[in-house]
Amino acid sequence: MDLLNTLVDKGLRRELPTREEALAVLATSDDDLLDVVAAAGKVRRQWFGRRVKLNYLVNLKSGLCPEDCSYCSQRLGSKAEILKYTWLKPEDASKAAAAGVAGGAKRVCLVASGRGPTDRDVDRVSKTIEAIKEQNEGVEVCACLGLLSEGQADRLRDAGADAYNHNLNTSEGTYGEITTTHTYADRVDTVQQAQAAGLSACSGLIAGMGESDEDLVDVVFALRELDPDSVPVNFLIPFEGTPLAKEWNLTPQRALRILAMVRFVCPDVEVRLAGGREVHLRTMQPLALHLVNSIFLGDYLTSEGQAGQADLDMIADAGFEVEGAGTTTLPEHRADVVAGCGSHTAQDAPGCGSHGGGCGPCGSSEPEPEAPAVPEARTDLVSVRRRGAGTDLAPNA
């Protein structure tokens, strides 16, 4: 049995692939890309059908962060010309959220820059959650406020939050190269605090920061162990004015292989295509819908996405459907163990895989070595957000 058949069988049984199998997915050639997508698509359809969950970001507080996450346009010392503003009023946040819900979003993700919230910040966000829940019946709310202190997850849950997001972002081994002001262990601790409080955990990664295939597999395996309900996959948006501005490491094909690997390792979890999809997948975005079951509608925290209507058209044209408010996202066996419901980041492959036992997807035991595609720097596609929350202009939804 070749690699992809093995991975489909394991995905349908929710069985963990081996590290070698996950690495082999990342090492497949462009000639095998459609086979990889089709295989991971079978796993996606088994657990999520053809549904696509839409999520909507509201940036409650933008920029001026004291932390130094290298990928982030809001970091300490960032020269990126992003919108900078302090806490949105609950009514303004609720108005922005309502635009996302009207556009079809089922979940609103409330994000604030900073190391973590003070207790006063939690009070403020609690009022915002209450306002959003009151004005948008049935909407799921996820908070993403950074590192949590004792008791804050409980208070957010009591205010009506359904979920908490805190991404691992990259492997434990490389975390110190990306951020120095907090640790990987701090991040794991916050995800676990959210889970302990009965919040649905959302935790994911950022690909394209110069990491190796091994690092990507490490972080995805760590996420599987942490067992969040949703796993956002971000592709680095290399903002001018940040330390990673020159890291253009992704091709659309590479991005699809990464998404397929995440689906095989986390088969029954909400895999969400997050920041960077327009920049790195570009015209290949519809293929990603065969791998992920969730995307963000409209704009991101500090950058603009494609028009909300283009997201909806893409979903319909690719033969998928927007998940309705009355539908449970997660498969029954997972939904049962989630207290609330079931979300975000503030933000080369040689030919054949080494999975042992031959060369399944490549169709030849001695493939010609293939030069990896050289990714293009598409700075023309990075557009700083100038509308929606924190501005007088209507949001994109």
**Complex with ligand SF4: residue 65 or 161, whichever CB lies closer:** 65
Q: Which stretch binds ligand SF4 (CB under 6 A): 70-78, 100-108, 192-200, 314-322?
A: 70-78
Q: How far is CA 51 from CA 201, 236, 285, 291, in A?
A: 21, 26, 16, 11
Q: 27-66 mask for ligand SF4 (x: CB under 6 A)?
A: --------------------------------------x-
Is 109 labelled a binding residue?
Answer: yes
Q: Which of 272, 277, 334, 385 is catalytic?
A: 272
Binding residue count for ligand SF4, defined by CB under 6 A: 10
**Complex with ligand SF4: residue 281 or 346, whichever CB lies closer:** 346
Active-site residue flag, 341: no
In DSSP terms, 111 is beta-bridged to 59, 144
> What is the nearest approach in angstroms of ligand SF4 to the Cβ of residue 347?
6
Q: Residue 356 CB: number of other CB atoms within 10 A?
A: 10
Active-site residue flag, 359: no
Segment 123-152, which members bind ligand SF4 (CB under 6 A)?
A: 146
Q: Per rule CB under 6 A, is residue 346 in the interface with ligand SF4?
A: yes
Rounded CA gap, 165 and 169, in Å? 12
Q: Per rule CB under 6 A, is residue 67 in the interface with ligand SF4?
A: yes
**Complex with ligand SF4: residue 65 or 255, whichever CB lies closer:** 65
Q: Per rule CB under 6 A, is residue 69 in the interface with ligand SF4?
A: yes
Active-site residue flag, 142: yes
For binding to ligand SF4 (CB under 6 A), which residues are involved?
65, 67, 69, 72, 74-75, 113, 115, 146, 346
The annotated binding site is made up of 65, 69, 72, 109, 142, 202, 272
The annotated binding site for [4Fe-4S] cluster is made up of 65, 69, 72
